[in-house]
Amino acid sequence: MLNVAILISGGGSNMQRLLEDMDETHPGCARLVLSNRPEAGGLAKAQAMGVATEVLDHRPFGEDRARFETELHKILKAYQVDVICLAGFMRILGTDFVSAWRGRMLNIHPSLLPKYQGLHTHHRALEAGDKRAGCSVHEVVPQLDAGPVLGQSEVPILPGDTAQDLANRVLEQEHLLYPKILRTFLTRFEPPS
């Protein structure tokens, strides 16, 4: 059984779907939900589902990202985490941290990567006049949103869509895609040497 940590910053709807999927047939066990924001709504949801939570507020660390990431690493090690799922975790992680977790960290991103890495993906897709949008689950590498894509789901962009309409339509697909990809990833997982 592989120990999974889910990192969040907000409402945690993707986290909730991952937790719901982690039944006795699942190759992973949710060891920890960690947020960098104490007010993240996902923390209460995780606690209600019986999962341990931690808060590591990034603000006291100021510009010192390395020290924040050292603390994060310590917590993950204390929980004997094998695999990290970023699920709306809105902090960019540095090269040292990402390298230490290479091959063990997934992210969900609300665009059809390699299009629209970074923020405001739905707004940018609408501005570009795209006909399709979607989401991607990918392995995390030091370059932002650039790791190998493990799966994608597409949705149409409809006339008159706002960025919020599109975000809602894509989020529905995120909720289906991420649990599916995590199961497959863990089933095939071999610890990187």
Residues of this chain that interact with ligand GAR (CB under 6 A) are 8, 10-15, 87-88, 108-110, 171, 174
Which residue in the list 26, 58, 109, 122 is annotated as catalytic?
Answer: 109
d(CA 185, CA 188): 5
Q: Which residue in 77, 183, 180 sits closest to 136, CA to CA?
A: 180
* Catalytic (active site) residue 109: yes
**Least distance CB 83 / ligand GAR (angstroms):** 17
**Least distance CB 90 / ligand GAR (angstroms):** 6
Asked whether 111 and 136 are in contact (CB, 8 A), the reply is yes
Specify the residue, 78 or 128, whose C-beta has the smaller distance to ligand GAR: 128
Specify the residue, 15 or 83, whose C-beta has the smaller distance to ligand GAR: 15
d(CA 147, CA 136): 11
Specify the residue, 14 or 153, whose C-beta has the smaller distance to ligand GAR: 14
d(CA 132, CA 118): 18
What residues contact residue 27 under an 8 Å CB cut-off, 6+ apart? 1, 2, 183, 186, 187, 189
Specify the residue, 1 or 48, whose C-beta has the smaller distance to ligand GAR: 48
**Least distance CB 114 / ligand GAR (angstroms):** 14
Alpha helix (H) residue ranges in 82-162: 95-100, 121-127
Q: Residue 71: phi, psi to the nearest 5?
A: -65, -40
**Least distance CB 132 / ligand GAR (angstroms):** 16
Any idea which residues carry the catalytic annotation?
109
